Structure 1
Amino acid sequence: MDYVIEMLDIRKEFPGIVANDNITLQLKKGEIHALLGENGAGKSTLMNVLFGLYQPEKGEIKVRGEKVKITSPNVANDLGIGMVHQHFMLVDTFTVTENIVLGMEPKKGINIDLKRAEREVQEISDRYGLKVDPKARIADISVGMQQRVEILKTLYRGAEILIFDEPTAVLTPQEIKELIQIFRTLIAEGKSIILITHKLKEIIEVCDRVTVIRKGVGIDTLDVEGTTPTQLASLMVGREVTFKTDKTDSNPKHSVLEITKLNVKDSRGVNAVKDLDLSVRAGEIVGIAGVDGNGQSELIEAITGLRKVTSGKIELNGKDLSSYKTRKITEAGVGHIPQDRHKHGLVLDFPIGDNMVLQTYYHKPYSKYSLLNNKEINKQAKKLIQEFDVRTPSEQTPARALSGGNQQKAIIGREVDRDPDLLIAAQPTRGLDVGAIEFIHKRLIEQRDNGKAVLLVSFELEEIINVSDRIAVIYDGNIIEIVDPKTTTEQELGLLMAGSKNKAGETENV
């Protein structure tokens, strides 16, 4: 059998942890090979070894049958290996073209030949159906488009083997369909792909083979044809996983969050939230469904005090919060699981223990006379680490060293432990494995059952339907419909999210 990549008995260690314990992965030419495992199983570590970001303690790598030593990403690029990371590595103020050619700029004399670069980027974009504007500024394009820029970067450097790390974690359903089509085009052009993903349906739909790893150990490699999501989930987490969220009917009480005629501007000064009305009651989960960019982010930022309200009211238990600062809103009884855990959820270079008290460090017993009490902080951190199954060597481990799922569990533990009246969960399971998703859904439902109000914002329609008690569809900055998750379908929600109302078999533009 001819393999384009062979990673044989790879062992990678970090202080106190074996991330890859003698794992073998073999990639055939022209296949899409999934790498499946829980958060923290060692998938990204293994691919970072292949891309030259880490050096293994043991094992060997062969590229097209030849043994190689990949000491840096430059060596990987020279071997035709490109990697699209989960967290994009782009310069916001640069254009698409400037990001793609960075470090490999075509020259005209001593100057950069930007016209030629734009032409080359356009040619690659057209060839693979990426539909990227070479002159657009990164800060002005969607997350899905930024990902395409990352793909273009690898293709511009001549990659024949492409590694994708959780590529659909930040995409809308429509963007996921488009990305799958891009994968098929790449394979038709003779490329080979390794796909790190937690999304079992995507593996079934698009992959040829799958290698499963659990807690750093290779479990099995099997053909995707003939397997089921249930089988893959069991291999991944080592137990049976329930895909259907188990919950009783809600029993909502008084209104906790009452939003009236809310208007909020985005960063460009354009109205992103327009005369929006919404209520969330104690003992219910209200899900907000919508295509990214329809005002969800601005709505959450307004409720949590991160963005100024133009007009309208945001009331929590009858108290108007619309002019409050963030800390005052937090102390009034609002918990916030932010959609970007790195930007707004954690201080990545702080120990995970310190991150557990970011909302409360200035209160007793965590501080006295403006001095932190590290003994009490560590005690609280240990309690939450155990209660919320945060897998970390210790509470002193920097937050950035944890997997995405464990970072998310830490944030949820911190917010839930404060016992807020309103818990806002924005994309709470983005990029997480089925085991972590199951855990987080249970925690959100527990909050509801404890009489709290939960506002869930997610691009995952399956999640919105399974977890919510009511679904509010947002389009162009307004709630255009409230639907019952028991009677709605993904198709109906998709139509509403696109700005259409489907009544009596007719579709009309809102």
Structure 2
Amino acid sequence: MKASSSTAPAVELAGITKRFPGVVANHDIHLTVRRGSVHALCGENGAGKSTLMKILYGMQKPDEGTITLDGEQVTLHTPGDAIARGIGMVHQHFMLADNLTVLENVVLGAEKLHGIGGKARAKIKEISDAYGLGVRPDALVEDLGVADRQRVEILKVLYRGARTLILDEPTAVLVPQEVDALFDNLRELKAEGLTVIFISHKLGEVLSVADDITVIRRGTTVGTAVPSETTPKQLAELMVGSELPSPETRESTVTDTPMLTVEGLELSATDPDGVVRAVLDGISLTIHKGEVLGIAGVEGNGQAELVEAIMGMRDPDAGTVTLDGADISHAPTRKRREDGIGYIPEDRHRHGLLLEAPLWENRILGHVTEKPNSRKGFLDPKAARADTERIVREYDVRTPGIEVTAASLSGGNQQKLIVGREMSHLPKLLIAAHPTRGVDVGAQAQIWDQIREARREGLAVLLISADLDELIGLSDNLRVMFRGRLVADADPATITPEELGSAMTGAATGHLEHVEEPADEEQEAPREGGDSE
């Protein structure tokens, strides 16, 4: 019997099972999402969350089970079917065309709604203003940072009239203030009767914004929870069977030996309006052996360009980059790699992996001329395969084998493969851009441990992250980047995420001192060691 659509759950999944060659992604999953609620879906990488949401979005068909929307059982053959029924999805890895403008991306495939001209532009502006998305319709997507791309994706979904939004790791790219703003938006959507399914690994955020929580482990539902009756510890144990890891680094390993020195780095770029502007403006920094230097900043303030200049992907207009005493300011990227720079890129799909290539070929990327990938100037596939098996074992990359494509792995397992590849070459300097973005608490702990272990042995690390707890916990020193300049520095032993977030918006400059307030005392847990420069 069909329930009335006003009282029926927005989404009801019953007995969902999905098998792939060599792996069961979902097994007998049950999920009920109330209309007008924020429902969080938690689980470690590879637990089957993304597969489940792709089934709900019509991207994949379940082998068994039923989908019921607003009390009516449905079969979704394509995302078009899901969109027609008011389901919209914002993927963790964005589905945008880089060479098109924001307006073109939003209207693409939805031209019948409001055309492609003034009416569409007005609708985009109306939605952008209503939810504080701050989207510029004429900006080229390739010129946008990750946070702006995410806002475009959310706008795209709302533009198509979605009543149920699936958000996959939506806060991974946001600073605390932006997370608060997003959560305010979600509460507004909820107040207007919209439904949000929120996939997240950040358990504190889940508990603050969700009305209901469903936990998935190893492909099946293992429990549901109500935030008011649950702690992060209980949720973590339900998710991965162990306690929540902490990025906190207690002992200092900073030496007096500089590993990377950047002096007076300048880089300009032409923006979409044809105006030349400085994206790096007099950047100077030093990272010593055994030191993690954290760079905080709202995305789009020059962090990506700084990484690209150090990696040799962009040639600076002025300034010098010195690695272990050698000037590499204009050296090619391959030379820098051979000289000992490891690189965990911001976007693993665009810059870290060949998605359709097998894992052992991905192990070779960026290290083609180095052992064990090559011998006497020739590739050595046998040795590369053997070493890939070792990485899979040592870094707990969950995969049926090394011949499967990188695309078939979950995001966290892709990230563990990249970290394993980079650490296998014993780098002198590791550039880690968002090293744990979109990975679960278990994988996060492993990656933090790998960085800490290498740091003890003298590795210098440039850490760029949107996760302020990660930045504060792992770093020996912190710098804040704003509009292409380093505007502030802070001691991670005393700074709070809120103070750091405030500096990231340009509200504070110079040396940031923590102002002790009685209300903050319980939250403050300064570590030993900290800054020993």
* Same fold (TM > 0.5): yes
SS at match of 2:234: helix
Superposed CA deviations along residues 422-449 of structure 1, whole A, max 9, x for unmatched, are 1111111111111111111111111110
Contact 2:495–2:512 at 8 Å: present in 1 too? Answer: no
In structure 2, the CA distance between the partners of 1:106 and 1:330, relative to structure 1 (3 Å rule), is: same
Contact 1:492–1:502 at 8 Å: present in 2 too? Answer: no
Superposition deviation, residue 220 in structure 1: 0.4
Pick from 33, 48, 51 the counterpart of residue 54 of structure 2: 48
- Write the distance in 2 (CA, Å) between the matches of 1:221 and 1:356: 38
Contact 2:488–2:510 at 8 Å: present in 1 too? Answer: no
Which shifted more, 257-266 or 279-288? 257-266
- Write the distance in 1 (CA, Å) between the matches of 2:447 and 2:512: 37
Superposed CA deviations along residues 337-380 of structure 1, whole A, max 9, x for unmatched, are 11111111111111111111223333455345765433212101
- Write the distance in 2 (CA, Å) between the matches of 1:343 and 1:308: 20
- Write the distance in 2 (CA, Å) between the matches of 1:115 and 1:122: 10
- Write the distance in 1 (CA, Å) between the matches of 2:159 and 2:509: 43
- Write the distance in 2 (CA, Å) between the matches of 1:107 and 1:200: 38
Report the AA paired with residue 250 of structure 2. Answer: K
TM-score (ref. length: structure 2): 0.89
In structure 2, the CA distance between the partners of 1:492 and 1:363, relative to structure 1 (3 Å rule), is: closer
Contact 2:489–2:511 at 8 Å: present in 1 too? Answer: no
Superposition deviation, residue 275 in structure 1: 1.8
Contact 1:35–1:194 at 8 Å: present in 2 too? Answer: yes
Contact 1:247–1:445 at 8 Å: present in 2 too? Answer: no
In structure 2, the CA distance between the partners of 1:240 and 1:128, relative to structure 1 (3 Å rule), is: closer
Report the AA paired with residue 32 of structure 1. Answer: V
Which shifted more, 251-260 or 448-457? 251-260
Matched, 1:62 2:65: no
Pick from 7, 14, 18 the counterpart of residue 13 of structure 2: 7
Report the AA paired with residue 501 of structure 2. Answer: G
**Aligned counterpart, 1:436:** 443
- Write the distance in 2 (CA, Å) between the matches of 1:74 and 1:476: 40
Pick from 385, 393, 399 the counterpart of residue 392 of structure 2: 385
Contact 1:170–1:431 at 8 Å: present in 2 too? Answer: no
SS at match of 2:111: coil
- Write the distance in 2 (CA, Å) between the matches of 1:506 and 1:235: 35
Matched, 1:239 2:245: no
Pick from 457, 475, 495 the counterpart of residue 482 of structure 2: 475
**Aligned counterpart, 1:420:** 427
Superposition deviation, residue 277 in structure 1: 1.5
Contact 2:338–2:367 at 8 Å: present in 1 too? Answer: no
**Aligned counterpart, 1:501:** 509
* Unaligned ranges ≥5, structure 1: none
**Aligned counterpart, 1:250:** 253
Q: How does 1:184-195 map to 2 (within 5 A)?
A: 184-195=187-198
- Write the distance in 2 (CA, Å) between the matches of 1:362 and 1:444: 24
Superposition deviation, residue 285 in structure 1: 1.1
Superposed CA deviations along residues 181-234 of structure 1, whole A, max 9, x for unmatched, are 211111111111111111112111110011100111211011122211111111
Contact 1:106–1:114 at 8 Å: present in 2 too? Answer: no
**Aligned counterpart, 1:77:** 83
In structure 2, the CA distance between the partners of 1:94 and 1:333, relative to structure 1 (3 Å rule), is: closer
TM-score (ref. length: structure 1): 0.93
- Write the distance in 2 (CA, Å) between the matches of 1:82 and 1:64: 15
Pick from 139, 154, 159 the counterpart of residue 156 of structure 1: 159
Contact 2:247–2:469 at 8 Å: present in 1 too? Answer: no
Superposed CA deviations along residues 65-117 of structure 1, whole A, max 9, x for unmatched, are 22111111111112221111112222233333332222232499xxx561222
Matched, 1:132 2:135: yes
**Aligned counterpart, 1:492:** 499
Superposition deviation, residue 502 in structure 1: 6.9
- Write the distance in 1 (CA, Å) between the matches of 2:512 and 2:441: 37
Report the AA paired with residue 85 of structure 1. Answer: H
Report the AA paired with residue 239 of structure 2. Answer: M
In structure 2, the CA distance between the partners of 1:497 and 1:160, relative to structure 1 (3 Å rule), is: closer
In structure 2, the CA distance between the partners of 1:241 and 1:371, relative to structure 1 (3 Å rule), is: same
- Write the distance in 2 (CA, Å) between the matches of 1:504 and 1:278: 17
Superposition deviation, residue 137 in structure 1: 3.8
Q: How does 1:171-320 map to 2 (within 5 A)?
A: 171-243=174-246, 245-266=248-269, 268=271, 269-320=276-327
In structure 2, the CA distance between the partners of 1:126 and 1:295, relative to structure 1 (3 Å rule), is: closer
Pick from 111, 115, 118 the counterpart of residue 115 of structure 1: 118
Report the AA paired with residue 361 of structure 2. Answer: D
- Write the distance in 2 (CA, Å) between the matches of 1:92 and 1:77: 23
- Write the distance in 1 (CA, Å) between the matches of 2:375 and 2:144: 46
Superposition deviation, residue 54 in structure 1: 0.5
Contact 1:51–1:73 at 8 Å: present in 2 too? Answer: yes
Report the AA paired with residue 442 of structure 1. Answer: D
Pick from 36, 44, 47 the counterpart of residue 38 of structure 1: 44
Superposed CA deviations along residues 456-481 of structure 1, whole A, max 9, x for unmatched, are 11122111111011112223323233
* Unaligned ranges ≥5, structure 2: 1-6, 516-533
SS at match of 2:337: helix
- Write the distance in 2 (CA, Å) between the matches of 1:158 and 1:363: 52
Matched, 1:145 2:136: no
